[in-house]
Each structure stands twice: as structure tokens, then as C-alpha cells.
Structure 1
Amino acid sequence: MKKILIDCDPGIDDALAITLAHGSAELEILGITTVGGNVSLPKTTANALRLREFLGFPEVPVVPGSPGALLRPTIDAAEVHGDSGLGETRLPPPTLPPADGHAVDFIIDTLASAPGEISLVAIGPLTNIALAVRKEPRLVEWAREFVILGGSYTRGNFSPAAEFNIAADPEAAAIVFSAGWTVTMIGLDVSRTALATMAVVDRMREMGRLGSDLLVPCAEFYGMVTASDGPAIHDACAIAYLIDPTLIEIQQAVVQVETMGRFTSGMTVVDFHLGDRAPNALVGTSIDTGRFWDLMLGTYAQVAATIA
């Protein structure tokens, strides 16, 4: 079983990703850290706490972290995820508080406790991770692997050039990509093809309270669902990669983050032509969507069976 630490900003797709991670027999969640992103830090933290209790893993620490970007004004995606961050889901408010401390220290302490054994996955802006590697550079050696949902080598969704998680804090992303580890970047080029079509949502409807209170409201709030199209389930792609790396084709690359461009701030500049340079990233290029949804829906069905 692979031990993982999830840094996130729930967020509709974060909720679907956390559900997948919790339900997978291949993963053990050691902790969830939160960052401001899709909505404000108090809301992303509250959403993580709500998910923890609804899904049934109250023993896993939830630790809040950075409220906004390192050097620039905070942005959010409430117009996509709703004011609460979880659209029209029907999850009870949490009864248990977050853990004491700050996400940055929790990330450092957790990875330091078992060097080389814990996979770190970030599915929100990279502010917490940047602060952690600046505070403790050995973090890059301690992580078994580091996987993000973010970036793109073609086009953006926050701007024509930039994906939201990177655009929310480009300086943090630049620190993370230059920290000396290999970043596995699962970006829009992969996640935009993982669509929740009508057939997918119909299977979610069969999953009792998990389907009615969480999965279906998440999928339908995001956008129009049709027989051949639907919203992209971005963050779950990074978790799926941790479960089964063969789902996603990856390619070595040198990735740099644009922080100065007037029109390109937050762009991940991906160069697959390495020459004599060492790669700093493994970049996802495609996903087997059939196997992805088999994994997702099969795991969700197991989680549904545990929820009264």
C-alpha cells in the first residue's frame, strides 16, 4: 500500500479526488493539508473536514496552510465551484476541528518521519509546497515521488496560457519546479479528456447517498452533461496516477514557470527536447479514459457501500 500526503484546495474536483484516494485499496492517506485556491482557506479547510467525516476517515489529520499566493493578490475559482467550493453537494457541517499547527510544518515532519516512503501529491496551488521546500530543502530527497495536478504544455483554463493551480501562485510553482526533484506534472492535456459523460453520471446515481449527496452534485454543477461530453474531473487524474501509473503516458521534459509575462504569467513552458539537459519533470501526455473511469467508478462503488 502506498502512503500519500494530499495538499489540496477543495473544490469539487478535489472532493472527487479525495474520495478516490480514500476508497483505493492501493493508497493510505496520512494527512490532508489545505491551501487557499478554488475558494478561501477557511472554506477549503472546512470542505476537507466535511469530506473526512462524510467519507469516514476521522483519524486522518487535516491541517490548514497558506491562505494565498506568495507575492501577488489572491484569486479564486468560486464562479466554477460555487460560493462554498462544493457546489450543490449536501454534506453535513464538520463536528471535528482541524489539527493544530501549519500545513508547511506538517508536510516537512511527515516526510521526515519516513524518508523515501511517502508520496506527496498537490492538487491545488503550490504555495504550501514552495514554503516547505524553502524551509527544508531535504524535502525533495525525502519524498518517494511528487505528483501535481497542474500546468499544461498546450493551453490554459485560467488564461489562454496558464492553468489555474499554477496561475494562482506562479512564484510558488517556479520554486517547486526548480527545487531539485522530479515533478510528475499531470496537467490539462490529460485531465481535459477525463470527462464525466451521461453514462458516468448515471452510474454515480446508483451509488446511494455517496452518489446523491456528493458525486452527482459535483459532476452536474461543473457543467452540461451529455451522452458524449461533460465536465473534466481534473484532480482525480493525479490520484489515479498514484494508484496505477500505467493509466497515463508520460514524457521527460524540462519545465519552467513564467512569472513575468503580461499575457503568459503562470504558463508552464514545457520543453520535451532535452539535449544534454537533465529533465526536472515527467509530463503527462494522455490518459486511458476507459480504464480511468473503470477505476474511478469501481472505487466509488466500494466507498458507497460503507456510507449509511
Structure 2
Amino acid sequence: MATPIILDCDPGHDDAIALLLALGSPELELLGVTTTYGNQTLEKTTANALRVLELAGRGDVPVASGASAPLERKLVVAAHVHGESGLDGPTLPPPSLAPVSEDAVEWMAGVVADAAGPVTLIPTGPLTNVARYLDEHGAEGLERIVLMGGAIAEGNMTPAAEFNVWADPEAAQAVLDAPLDVTMIGLDVTHKAVTGPDVQRRLRDAGSIGVFVAELVDFFTVYHRETYGWDGAPIHDAVAVAHVLRPGLVQTKLRNVEVERESELCRGRTVVDLWHRTDRPANAHVGVDLDSAAFFDLLVERIGRLG
């Protein structure tokens, strides 16, 4: 039986690829997509989600528009990475579809209540929608949360913090403290999912959707080449989806994770008690390693199914 999922995202190049991976994977039943600010403004990320679904011929998948700003912090978007549209690179037409709801939290609650079994949430942007959902509806009906965000040892928005958690650290802490199974897929593993010329060639050979994904990566690589010197780009968000559909790709450890919310210097740092230095109870499975070759084999194969 396929695992029912809701993808909460802010497309975004890697969110778009994560969405396509979910669509190409029969192990997953995509009940719908909820959108948030993050890689660009909510209006743009919602349009991007609709555009990607239409490209894949899956306009039947509902999209609900969600948070336009963090719970407490000032809105900041990652246009410096994802461009003016949030999905710069290949050209997609404006969406012909519209969101089914402007209230992602209430829409999600209805879907979870109606689902045949417990639902897995896969948030790949700032965690505002999910924190609000948990505050208003609790964890009943949810199987687990597998989020892309945070890190044990590095940052990409600041020296200390990954962008999704930095954008809304209060929401991130609320999600990590939720009374259910939470997995954090952070930069420590997603920075092992960096494309290169071979992956790009394989994607282009995988059909029309593969060409689109390769063109997304072409644009996404520019920032990462200038920043890290990499000849490719990390497909962060697709790793979270891959972890749900293919257990074993990501190695995790059950640890305590706390989010720094007081310091401006370290705002949004996910403090992972990797070596049990405290008595704080474990609250999340934390990604520590990735089978990169198997991940890209899976990604190329599933994208090829769509093309």
C-alpha cells in the first residue's frame, strides 16, 4: 500500500525536483501540496507548484496556499539562490490552475481527517504551516514528519544556520517538539546529494521531464559553484522524499535537537546532541549519512518515468 503524503514546500528548484520525485514514485500517494514563503514569496512559490504539476500532467493534485510570513520574524526570501521567479532557468508558462484553498492548515486538516490511514508530512521549506497545523489540530492522524532543514555542523543562510530553520526558528522548534516521529534531513546529508556532469547527462537522457530537471540544476549550479566551488548543485529537498520512499538511503541517529532562538549570531542553529553531552530527551531522527549513488539512481529512474 502506498504511503499517503502531503508535501509542504516553497518551490524552489530542489522543491520542484522533490515534487517530481514524489509524482514518479508509486510507493507514495501524493494527497496534495501545501505552499509557503521561503525560496520566494508565497504568490510565486504557489504558482511554481502549480506550474510543475501541470508540466508533469498532474493538474489533478490539489494545491493549497499557506503561510506568507514566519510566525514572529520578518519575511526574508532566498531570491539570491533561486532567482526572481523562484524557479529561474527553464521557462514554464504561467499556471492555468488555481489553488483549491487559501488556508493550507484547514485544508490539510480536512485531508488528514479523510485519509484512509495516517499521513506523512514532508515539509521542505520554512515550517510555519506545519507548526500552525500542530498548534491547531495536534498530531492525530499523522504518521510522522520528515523535514528538510537544519544541520549538525554547518549553515547555508548564515555560518550557523540552514535557511528553512533560520527563516522561522520558532516554527522549527514547535515541529521538533511535536508528539510524533520527526526526522530532520539536514545539510550534512543533502550536501552529499550534489549533482555533477554525469548526473546531468543521465537526466537529459531520461526524457522531457529529465531535461527540465537538468535545466533547473544548470541554473541552481551557478550559485553553488560561486559559493562552494562545486560542479553541481545539492538536491536538498528530494532527499527527504527519497528517505520516505526508500528506507536505508539515509542513515539517521535518534538525538535531541534544539533550535537557537535568542542569539542573532546563531539564530536558527539546530543544536544536535550527537554525542549525548546532555540529558535532554531525544526528539528527532537526524540524518548523518547518505548513499549518494543510490539516491541519484533512484532520482533519475523516477524522473524518467514521468518523461
Query: Shorter-chain TM-score category?
Result: over 0.9
Q: Report the Cα distance in structure 2 between the residues aligned to 1:44 and 1:277, rounded to whole angstroms.
A: 36
Q: Report the Cα distance in structure 1 between the residues aligned to 2:165 and 2:133, rounded to whole angstroms.
A: 17
Whether 1:237 and 2:239 are equivalent positions in the alignment is yes
Structure 1 residue 229: deviation in Å?
A: 3.7
Correspondence for 1:134: 135
Q: Report the Cα distance in structure 2 between the residues aligned to 1:68 and 1:245, rounded to whole angstroms.
A: 33
Whether 1:271 and 2:273 are equivalent positions in the alignment is yes
Correspondence for 1:301: 304
Q: Report the Cα distance in structure 2 between the residues aligned to 1:289 and 1:207, rounded to whole angstroms.
A: 19
Whether 1:216 and 2:185 are equivalent positions in the alignment is no
Q: Report the Cα distance in structure 1 between the residues aligned to 2:278 and 2:271, rounded to whole angstroms.
A: 16
Correspondence for 1:158: 157
Instruction: Describe the SS at the equivalent of 2:151.
Output: coil
Correspondence for 2:205: 206
Q: Structure 2 counterpart of 1:218, which letter? A: L
Structure 1 residue 209: deviation in Å?
A: 2.4
Correspondence for 1:283: 286
Identity among equivalent pairs (%):
43
Instruction: Describe the SS at the equivalent of 1:286.
Output: strand
Q: Which runs of 5+ in 2 are unaligned?
A: none
Aligned pair partner of 1:292 in 290, 295, 306: 295
Q: Report the Cα distance in structure 2 between the residues aligned to 1:250 and 1:70, rounded to whole angstroms.
A: 29
Q: Structure 2 counterpart of 1:50, which letter? A: R
Whether 1:84 and 2:85 are equivalent positions in the alignment is yes
Correspondence for 2:146: 147
Map residues 45-60 of structure 1 onto 2, 5 A cutoff. 45-60=46-61
- Cα deviation code 1:205-248 (max 9, x no counterpart): 22332233x2122111112599x841111000000001112101
Q: Structure 2 counterpart of 1:301, which letter? A: G
Large movers: runs of 4+ above 6 Å = none
Instruction: Describe the SS at the equivalent of 1:4.
Output: strand
Instruction: Describe the SS at the equivalent of 1:245.
Output: coil
8 Å contact kept, 2:253–2:286: yes
Task: Report the more deviating stretch, 281-290 or 200-209.
Answer: 200-209
Correspondence for 2:19: 18
8 Å contact kept, 2:125–2:148: yes
Instruction: Describe the SS at the equivalent of 2:252.
Output: strand
8 Å contact kept, 1:151–1:162: yes
8 Å contact kept, 2:147–2:184: yes
Q: Structure 2 counterpart of 1:253, which letter? A: R
Instruction: Describe the SS at the equivalent of 2:201.
Output: helix
Whether 1:189 and 2:177 are equivalent positions in the alignment is no
Structure 1 residue 285: deviation in Å?
A: 0.3
Q: Report the Cα distance in structure 2 between the residues aligned to 1:192 and 1:26, rounded to whole angstroms.
A: 25
Q: Report the Cα distance in structure 2 between the residues aligned to 1:103 and 1:179, rounded to whole angstroms.
A: 19
RMSD value over aligned CA atoms? 1.8
Structure 1 residue 114: deviation in Å?
A: 3.4
Structure 1 residue 56: deviation in Å?
A: 1.3
Correspondence for 2:101: 100
Q: TM-score, normalised by structure 2?
A: 0.94
- Cα deviation code 1:120-174 (max 9, x no counterpart): 110000000111111112xx23211110000001011000110000001111111
Q: Which runs of 5+ in 1 are unaligned?
A: none
Q: Report the Cα distance in structure 1 between the residues aligned to 2:77 and 2:279, rounded to whole angstroms.
A: 39
Q: Report the Cα distance in structure 2 between the residues aligned to 1:82 and 1:119, rounded to whole angstroms.
A: 30
Q: Report the Cα distance in structure 1 between the residues aligned to 2:116 and 2:208, rounded to whole angstroms.
A: 39
Q: Report the Cα distance in structure 1 between the residues aligned to 2:182 and 2:240, rounded to whole angstroms.
A: 12
Aligned pair partner of 2:255 in 239, 253, 269: 253
